[in-house]
Amino acid sequence: MGRLKDFLARPLAPGLPGGEVVKRDVAPLEGTNISLFNTIIPSWWAENGLSSTSSWMPGGAALAERVWVANRCQQLNSQQLSSMPLQFHGPEGAEPAWMSNPDPNWYPNGVGDALFAIVDQLYGWGFSCQYITDFYADGFPRTWTVLPSGGLQIKMENGRRQYKLGEDELDPRRVVQIDRNPGTGLHGCSALRAYAQNAWGLLAAGNQSMNVNQGGIPAAVLKSARKLTAAQAETLQTQWMTATQRRNGAPPVLPPELDFEVLGINPSDLSLLETQEWNSRVIATAYGVPAVLLNMSLQGGLTYQNPLALMQMWWLTELRTTAKRIGDAFSAQMLPRGQWISFDATDITTDQITAADDEQAAQEPPPAGKATPASQPQPLTAIGGGG
């Protein structure tokens, strides 16, 4: 930084008007004692491997892997969409090979694994790029594979995106890019980017909870009336632990110089359980995953009386938009005009529930104007709860 200050304060080159020394009168940043010209702000996120695609962007794929809620939400969204069958809309017999097996080498189990990787990248990195590896005679794709978002560099050249994987420049005509949140940028951003503070709060609370559970903060202490050396304290601690194992539940007997004191600290409070639950719920909203699927009870919000209503809400508010974005990209760049693909969500969107599916379906609603008893099962609809 000293070289930068010397450069900014250098004399002007001979022949230029003035010739005086360039002075930089920079006030400190508001609320601090530093300015951009007398300090360095380290790229902490990049140094710790927690950024997504730039040093100033906290909350990327690496952070999502460490936070259990984010990791689980990405898996739920990925496995749900990858398990939905793809439907081809076009002439009979014209379905391309990639509809069932786009990359036999890297994804030998079929298109489901490739779709899982795409959705996971959309939420973790904000974008996913597919590379067309083979074509039919008519020029349309036959096979493709999923490129690793972490090693992909995207830049703008002459108004078009240019892709580089490691040191290899890719043919942009073979790349199909899908963004989680399309905009004017080169690619979308991670679902966790705006929720990074909550993710770090959840990690901090989890570390505190681990510290409590591992005995970092003891529940009780032995107090001695006289000063003890380190060796004496260690011997006393060992004797107490040995006697505890041998006592088999009997009350301890303390010598006159020792006192047993229970600390007035609640381990539950130190574990920050409420903070962890709050951050978990907030992070779940970043992925559009209902909190019930994360084993967290609903409190004061929308409640659902059957799993189908919950799945329909999840599909309509989050999964359908992601599925349509993937289907539109494949249809626009991998299929001829008049052909398209879609995700088959019939098992979620169906409105028919029989008694074989849910015992509550066999219950008839009460007559109009008559209140439903508390023991009577409620109708199978989503109910909006109060605050």
**pLDDT tens digits for 38-66?**
444 444 444 555 444 443 345 688 888 88
pLDDT at residue 40 in the model: 41
- Residue closest to 296 by CA, chosen among 272, 318, 313, 279: 279
In this prediction, residue 325 carries a pLDDT of: 96
pLDDT given for residue 87 in this prediction: 94
First to last CA, the chain: 54
> Looking at beta carbons, which pairs linking 357-361 to residues 24 or more positions away fall under 8 Å?
357/308, 358/306, 358/308, 360/305, 360/306
The strand order across the sheet containing 127-135 reads: 141-146, 127-135, 175-179
Residue 210 confidence (pLDDT): 59
Please, which residues bridge with residue 157 across strands? Answer: 160
Query: What pLDDT, on the 0 to 100 scale, is given for residue 225?
Result: 83
Taking 70 as the pLDDT cut, the residues of the chain under it are 1-59, 206-219, 263-272, 298-305, 350-387
Q: What pLDDT was estimated at residue 277?
A: 82
DSSP 142-183: EEEEEPPGGGEEEEEETTEEEEEETTEEE-GGGEEEEESS-S
C-alpha atoms less than 13 angstroms from C-alpha of 31 in its C-beta half-sphere:
0
Sequence-separated (6 or more) residues with CB below 8 Å from residue 120: 74, 75, 78
CA gap 24, 5 in Å, rounded:
9
Question: Nearest to residue 154, comparing CAs of 185, 117, 124, 122?
Answer: 185
Alpha-carbon span 340 to 329, nearest angstrom: 10
pLDDT of residue 43: 47
Write the Ramachandran bin of 311: left for phi over 0, alpha for psi from -120 to 50, otherwise beta: alpha
- In 3D space, the residue among 276, 70, 321 whose CA is nearest the CA of residue 190 turns out to be 70
Contact 361, 354 (CB under 8 A): yes
Beta bridge partners, 163, equal 154, 170
d(CA 188, CA 190): 7
Give me the pLDDT at residue 11, please. 47
How much is the pLDDT for 284? 92
Q: Which residue has the tokens 């040093």?
A: 55
pLDDT at 22: 43
CA 28 from centre of chain: 36
Map out the domains of the chain as residue ranges.
42-216+271-359, 220-249+256-262
CA 21-25-26 angle, to 5 degrees, is 135
DSSP state of 10: P
